[in-house]
Homo-oligomer: A and B are copies of this chain.
């Protein structure tokens, strides 16, 4: 009985899958998802179809989404959604299968532990889906740029509040990055100013990442930086004396 039902499901799904093929290669993954929905333990085609097809994005739109979405669900969701929501709209499947809200946990350097800035976690998730191992090179360059750049740069059309300062983190860690900015601005963490800084910074990080992704889509991306682990003979940042005395 169960076998017959399974066979029926497969036949139906193959039809759906065929139609998917006619509509366009980008949509085939949906058919694959349905086949798998039968719970038949087929090897997930999602793995074979990764990375996902990328379409060049408009950085103005990306910045606006990142800024606005910071105020919805914080930094990691802000950058992940700034890239993945336009791709859900403009590419469709397989992006539409991924609940972007599931990335919310990256906030505050991962649920408030102050480790990797959530904007960078969001970029990791997005570039991982879009570009696989190439995405790792892009992420590496985004992190390097993040540590070396006075942020935030972005000025929203309708800012929620005004802020005065920019700061260079020298580190991808939330605790250090936001701590340096808070000290300069003279504000505490749970303030409108700090929130505004993180929302604007989310736009900056998403825009920088999308510029690299767009160059990559054009075949013009050349990685700027090498492996941190190989350079330091262990995984490490470049701000050694922040914790180790000379």
Q: Which residues of A approach B to under 8 Å, CB–CB?
A: 9, 12, 16, 19-20, 23, 27, 29-34, 36-41, 44-47, 49-52, 88-106, 108-116, 120-121, 124-125, 127-129, 132-133, 135-136, 139-140, 143, 172-175, 178-179, 182, 188-190, 227-230, 232-237, 242-243
The one of B102, B108, B230 that contacts A128, using a Cβ cutoff of 8 Å: B102
A87 to B167, CA, bound (A): 43
Complex contacts, A93 vs chain B, CB 8 Å: 33-34, 36-37, 39
The one of B29, B97, B143 that contacts A29, using a Cβ cutoff of 8 Å: B97
Complex contacts, A125 vs chain B, CB 8 Å: 102, 125
A49 to B33, CA, bound (A): 15
Contact A237 B113, beta carbon cutoff 8 Å: yes
Contact B101 A39, beta carbon cutoff 8 Å: no
Contact A113 B143, beta carbon cutoff 8 Å: yes
The one of B34, B92, B139 that contacts A111, using a Cβ cutoff of 8 Å: B139
Complex contacts, A95 vs chain B, CB 8 Å: 44
Contact B189 A112, beta carbon cutoff 8 Å: no
Contact B30 A115, beta carbon cutoff 8 Å: no
Copies of this chain per assembly? 2
Main secondary structure of the interface of A (DSSP, over half): helix
- Given A39-B92, A124-B105, A189-B229: A115 and B49 within 8 A (CB)? no
- Given A234-B178, A237-B175: A116 and B124 within 8 A (CB)? no
Instruction: Name the distance in Å between A116's Cβ and chain B's nearest Cβ.
Output: 4
CB-nearest residue of chain B to A129: B102
- Given A37-B27, A132-B101: A110 and B88 within 8 A (CB)? no
